[in-house]
Amino acid sequence: MNQDLKKEKSAREAFNLIEPELMKDSVIGIGTGTTTNFFIKELNKAKIQIKGVVCSSNASENLVDNSYDKFSLNEVHGIDFYIDGADEFNDRKELIKGGGGALTREKILAYSSNKFICIVDESKHVNLLGQFPLPVEVIELARSAVSRELMKMGGKPIYRHGFVTDNGNQIVDIHNLPIEVPYDLEAKINNIPGVVENGIFSCRKADAIICTTDNDISVIQ
């Protein structure tokens, strides 16, 4: 089974999982990335009656069918279900996200949700987070200063040239950074002046992970 088919199956399973609990006043949060795009396709096909959606990126919002109302987070009281992918996950449902550059908005929506469902295939599973370079969103003025601090932590920061987030900021990807205690490192990086957010999702980890393999689909809760 190729990777796209696995992503599609995980996305379909996520939709089937939440559909019985959706009501007319429900709000769905939608992340960013290729896996999430498959969930958007399922949502568009279903044309269910809900209050609407909140998306973490302009790219995702543009893919959602116009039959759904699209809100900013400021326009709703909260998010019932947040659906997103991940670049890595471990057995504790901690994640690295932000390969698509939307990590700050993704984390805000995850924090604002009643249930965060992460959809992945088994290639994203790791025992120790950090094999995927850790994205850090930074204010342009502080990029070099932040990078120096991250080097002191043992990482190799590489500026993502030409990329600007939807918030107007820049991304530094941190290679070879040991993430032995994700909860502590998430907070430590965010305490560096000039850091907007980093891609460790440990303080707000996933509530459930739907993972597709060649043979089956598992729901980790």
CATH of the domain at 171: 3.30.70.260
Kindly state whether residues 94 and 45 are assigned to the same domain: yes
CATH of the domain at 100: 3.40.50.1360
Residue 4 has pLDDT above 90, yes or no: no
Q: How confident is the model over 60-71, as a mean pLDDT?
A: 96
Q: How confident is the model over 137-161, as a mean pLDDT?
A: 97
From the candidates 88, 106, 137, 149, give the one annotated as an active-site residue.
106
Kindly state whether residues 174 and 110 are assigned to the same domain: no
The total number of structural domains in the chain stands at: 2
Q: How confident is the model over 3-7, as a mean pLDDT?
A: 86
19 classed as catalytic: no
Q: State which residues form the domain around 176.
A: 134-198
Give the percent of the chain with pLDDT over 90: 92
Q: What is the pLDDT of residue 134?
A: 98
Residue 1 has pLDDT above 80, yes or no: no
DSSP the chain: --HHHHHHHHHHHHHHHHGGG--TT-EEEE--SHHHHHHHHHHHHH----SEEEESSHHHHHHS-TTS-EE-GGGSS-EEEEEE--SEE-TT--EE--TTS-HHHHHHHHHTEEEEEEEEEGGGB-SSTTSSPEEEEE-GGGHHHHHHHHHHTT-EEEE-TT---TTS-EEEEEES---SSHHHHHHHHHTSTTEEEESEESTT--SEEEEE-SS-EEEE-
Residue 2 has pLDDT above 90, yes or no: no
Kindly state whether residues 63 and 78 are assigned to the same domain: yes
pLDDT, one tens digit per residue, over 161-174 is 999 999 999 999 99
Q: What is the pLDDT of residue 21?
A: 95
